[in-house]
Amino acid sequence: MYAKCRRPADARRVFDRMPARDRVAWNALVASYAGDGLSSAAVEMVVQMQEEVGERHDSVTLVSVLPACAGARALCACREAHAFALRGGLGELFNVATAILDAYCKCGAVEAAKAVFDWMLIRNSVSWNAMIDGYVQNGDATEALTLFNRIGRGGCGCDGRVCAGSVASVWGAWSKCRKPGLAAQAFNELGDRKTRISWNAMILAFMQNGCDPLQARWIHGYSIRQHLDQDIYVYVLTTLIGMYSKCGRVSISRRLFDAASERHVITWNAMIHGYGSHGFGKVAVELFEEMKGTGSLPNETTFLSALVACSHAGLVEEGREYFASMKDYGLEPGMEHYGTMVDLLGRAGKLEEAWSFIQSMPTEPGISVYGAMLGACKLHKNVELAEEAARRIFELGPEEGMYHVLLANIYANASMWKAARVRTAMEKKGLQKSPGWSIIQLKNEVHTFYSGSTNHQQAKEIYARPTKLIDEIKAVGYVPDTDSIHDVEDDVKAQLLNTHSEKLAIAYGIIRTAPGTAIQIRKNLRVCNDCHNATKLISLVTGQEIIMRDIQRFHHFKDGKCSCGDYWY
């Protein structure tokens, strides 16, 4: 009971007090730890189960602990569990073999997973999905597609209707290959075998490949014309809510939400997250309170969405309250919850509280937590804490150079010589900062701009427009913010700022659209301070709304203001 109520500590206390324990009790505790994300504890219990009491594992034990091995990326433990299965004669059981296959995939040992897959005497849609998804998650889209084609040729050894779910995994491969058209073709071929999984996957394929509001409306209309039954439509509707939000049309998302006759917890989550990502934190909080008032139980994702909304809007007290109340629902905060709380406190200027919060975490903080701290230190110019946060990040070995760049900028803004040393260390490690780009989609054409790029066919006209815009917004108070550019002359700094990718994309949008038309662009990095200030004023002088989605959130620029209230840039 305690395990199913997500109370592993209470379950363990009852277990420890038992005068006698059988295999069922051990399995219940292993499943409790594994289901609650406590991977190391689950694996430890399996070892203790054999070493201390000599209790033999069964298929339930293995099926419970293997996901824990996968969650901890513990490949050695996964191999040990596989060996246990073989020695105990359990390896031929379908559920055990599939769990082993899936664990190997999640641990990155896709060849070992394929060996298990080929060895299996019986395969159904679960094993095919696991293998296809394993290839996708490990970056081998070609093998994923090859395996999927075997299903299409009848090589899966099971009912084609059952295998329709495999489409969801292979669409992930097509999405990574930037081929949503192939996904659409497979979707149409399903005919009356479409499920909520295939619908959601189709929507996701378009969404991940820059689907614009017109395509979103087409998908929405198609789902209505198909007269989906209520069970499927709840999930399709939820995905549509998320899709419209990600397309910058949160008002349409709300209309769909309000019209829903049934709301699952994921429906509430999608709408709360949509408001939070668009900077409407107070509305997100109001919706969260409404959800609790209806009796719907929030889950970990609900709380994360609410915390993100508080962070984006600077609602510190509300964020503190929500984080503390997770235990009231039997929920344990994950790394993302902790990182969001550090972000919330840090951006509000409560750096010491944020650092103390990190020190009090019951688990070892990850890169995302220290990264949030480093970003807050840059915002509030705290070099001392920035150095400590950066030191912890570098110990964890980040694969990207953005944290080195961030620390170097903190030093440079403080006029410290250490900036050059950080950049040198970054070069020695072979780390690079991702180049900035922005895209704008007009009339089914996607145009990509890189900072300083001149390869567009209308480059001359595009470059002339930002220069004119800068002159116009200077007249209403614009002053270039050059803090992020160092080691060049002031006139060069201004020139570099004028050719940032988002300014080029906005200029092209103004050239190609009628006055008063909303311009929507997407950027792969966070919008810089200068572009944020400039875009506000551009929306004022042109009278055009500009919707910018950066790596963190949406910014709605209109009449010289931004939806983030200048809190989040």
pLDDT of residue 76: 78
CA separation for the pair 566, 527 (Å, rounded) = 12
Gyration radius of the chain over CA positions:
26
Domain ranges of the chain: 1-146, 437-562
Question: Cα separations (Å) of 329 from 131, 234, 333?
Answer: 35, 24, 11
pLDDT of residue 283: 94
pLDDT of residue 268: 94
pLDDT of residue 309: 92
Instruction: Tell me the fold of 1-146.
Output: 1.25.40
pLDDT of residue 274: 92
pLDDT of residue 366: 87
pLDDT of residue 564: 82
Q: Which of 245, 241, 275, 279 is nearest to 259 (CA)?
A: 241
pLDDT of residue 161: 46
Point out which residues pair with 496 in neighbouring strands: none
Is the pTM higher than 0.85? The answer reads no
Element counts in the chain: helices (H) and strands (E): 29, 6
> What's 227's DSSP letter?
T
The structure tokens listed for 487 are 């080691």
CA separation for the pair 91, 294 (Å, rounded) = 47
- The contacts of residue 135 (CB under 8 Å, 6+ apart) are 105, 110, 141, 143, 144, 147, 173
pLDDT of residue 545: 94
Look at the block and give the residue holding tokens 């020139």. 495
- The contacts of residue 357 (CB under 8 Å, 6+ apart) are 338, 341, 342, 345
pLDDT of residue 446: 80
pLDDT of residue 106: 83
CA separation for the pair 353, 334 (Å, rounded) = 19
Contact (Cβ atoms closer than 8 angstroms) between residue 195 and residue 232: yes
Buried b (16+ CB within 10 A) or exposed e, 100-134: bbbbbbbbebbebbbebbeebeebbbbbbbbbbbb
pLDDT of residue 130: 82
CA separation for the pair 309, 279 (Å, rounded) = 7
The structure tokens listed for 246 are 């990600």
CA separation for the pair 234, 368 (Å, rounded) = 33
pLDDT of residue 318: 95
CA separation for the pair 359, 122 (Å, rounded) = 50
Each residue's pLDDT expressed in tens, for the chain with a length of 569 residues: 888 777 888 889 999 899 888 888 888 888 787 766 676 677 777 777 776 656 566 777 777 778 777 766 777 778 877 887 887 777 667 788 888 888 888 888 888 888 888 888 777 777 888 888 888 777 676 777 777 767 655 555 554 444 444 555 565 555 555 555 556 666 666 666 666 666 666 666 665 555 557 566 766 776 667 665 455 567 778 888 888 888 888 999 999 899 888 888 889 999 999 999 888 889 999 999 999 998 888 999 999 999 999 998 889 999 999 999 999 988 888 889 999 999 999 989 999 999 999 999 988 888 889 999 998 998 888 989 999 999 998 888 776 677 877 887 777 776 665 666 666 666 666 656 667 889 888 877 788 888 776 677 777 788 788 888 999 999 999 998 876 665 545 666 677 788 888 999 999 999 999 988 899 998 888 888 889 999 999 999 999 999 998 887 889 999 999 988 877 65
The structure tokens listed for 138 are 């490990």
Look at the block and give the residue holding tokens 């840059």. 378
pLDDT of residue 53: 59
